[in-house]
Structure 1
Amino acid sequence: MPVLASFACGLIFGAGLLISGMTDPQKVLGFLDLFGAWDATLAFVMAGAVAVAATGFAIARRRTAPAFSARFLWPDRTDIDAPLVAGAVLFGIGWGLVGICPGPALVNIAGLSLPIVVFVLAMLAGMIGQNLFGRNLWRRRAAAPRAIETSPLPSHADG
């Protein structure tokens, strides 16, 4: 059942991308062109997506268990670190240069357009590279000596 739920969610997401025009690089570039022929229609798409997501998260937070999983998988990190900022900057640069991001690229791959195929291959190479780099980074962090906290532990006699 989880596979069918994932398929349905992906199908709805892809249909939404097609209907909204997010798969058209020229429409996206028009939205990003704030000082030229700005096309504000995608702002409404984003506002609608945020409203739907916020509603979904509000409903999910009230549930005691997810519908298609053994447990909830909520994010546990809230910090903003250098890799997050660098990734966001690279994503923004790529989106601004070609007007396409990973979701719409995967929808557009069905058309077998050479620029989209090259984009998806480059995206996959970047994902593999990040995975290898990230794995090495975590190994180095794990091997680095750690500071030992010297705060006093509470005594059992205090209690």
Structure 2
Amino acid sequence: MSADHEQHPLFLPLVFVGGLIFGFGLGFSHMAQPEVVLSFLQFQDLGLLFVMFGAAIVTGITFFGVKLVRNDAPLTGATYGRRLKTLDKNVVIGGGIFGVGWGLSGICPGAAYASLGIGNYPILTGIVGMFLGAYIQGFWRSTRADSSTPATTAD
């Protein structure tokens, strides 16, 4: 969001409502259960594929349709635009690490939070692991950036 746009007061409440709908949908479709996700990863239950396709279709139609009607986001005023991410080494390695974590835990981050809502409290260990992993990666990245920045001398 650019500095010249004020955030609409309904922005955060609508994000919260969107999260509620997302979580309810994950719970309703049983995708917040690690056993279902692991069955999908083992090609035994492809229901998750239909849930993901359904979400992708709704999202695609929404993004395409909104862009035809307006050029800026209604709640933030920010201009719509594509964020292109190149397929580089970090994306491949990070995606691989994410996939291994997903396979070991049987749950992706969004579904992990929704899983709490259906009473899966042991998933808290996985959520703590996600936060620790993200913190460690951020710390590692910042130390790499600090060491790769050339020292400048003052004249």
User: TM bucket by the smaller chain?
Assistant: 0.7 to 0.9
Which letter does structure 2 place at the counterpart of 1:2? F
Offset, 1:73: 6.1
Residues 76 and 137 (structure 1), Cα distance of their counterparts in 2 relative to 1, 3 Å cut? farther
Say yes or no: does 1:19 pair with 2:28: yes
- Which residue, 41, 46, 50 being the options, matches 1:40? 46
- Which residue, 59, 62, 74 being the options, matches 1:53? 59
Offset, 1:135: 2.3
Q: Which residue of 2 aligns with 1:132?
A: 139
Offset, 1:26: 0.7
User: How far apart, CA to CA, are the structure 2 residues paired with 1:141 and 1:66?
Assistant: 38
Say yes or no: does 1:113 pair with 2:118: no
Alpha-carbon deviations, 1:17-37, whole Å to 9, x = none? 111111011111111112xxx
Give secondary structure in 1 for the equivalent of 2:90.
Answer: helix
Residues 12 and 141 (structure 1), Cα distance of their counterparts in 2 relative to 1, 3 Å cut? farther
Residues 125 and 98 (structure 1), Cα distance of their counterparts in 2 relative to 1, 3 Å cut? same
Matches within 5 A, 1:4-15: 4-15=13-24
Query: Quick check: 2:37–2:107 contact (8 Å CA) kept in 1?
Result: yes
Give secondary structure in 2 for the equivalent of 1:143.
Answer: coil
Query: Quick check: 2:67–2:80 contact (8 Å CA) kept in 1?
Result: no
Offset, 1:101: 0.9
Number of residues of Structure 1 aligned to a counterpart in Structure 2: 141
Residues 73 and 65 (structure 1), Cα distance of their counterparts in 2 relative to 1, 3 Å cut? closer
Larger Rg: 1
Q: Which residue of 2 aligns with 1:148?
A: none
User: How far apart, CA to CA, are the structure 1 residues paired with 2:30 and 2:139?
Assistant: 34
Offset, 1:64: 1.5
Residues 143 and 57 (structure 1), Cα distance of their counterparts in 2 relative to 1, 3 Å cut? farther
Structure 1 residue runs of 5 or longer lacking an equivalent are: 145-159
Calculate the aligned-residue CA RMSD, in Å. Answer: 2.1
State the identity as a percent: 33
User: How far apart, CA to CA, are the structure 2 residues paired with 1:33 and 1:49?
Assistant: 22
Q: Which has the higher contact order (CA 8 A, sep 6+)?
A: 2
User: How far apart, CA to CA, are the structure 2 residues paired with 1:80 and 1:10?
Assistant: 29
Q: Write out the 4+ residue segments of structure 1 that deviate beyond 6 Å after TM superposition.
A: none
Q: Which residue of 1 aligns with 2:87?
A: 80
Structure 2 residue runs of 5 or longer lacking an equivalent are: 1-9
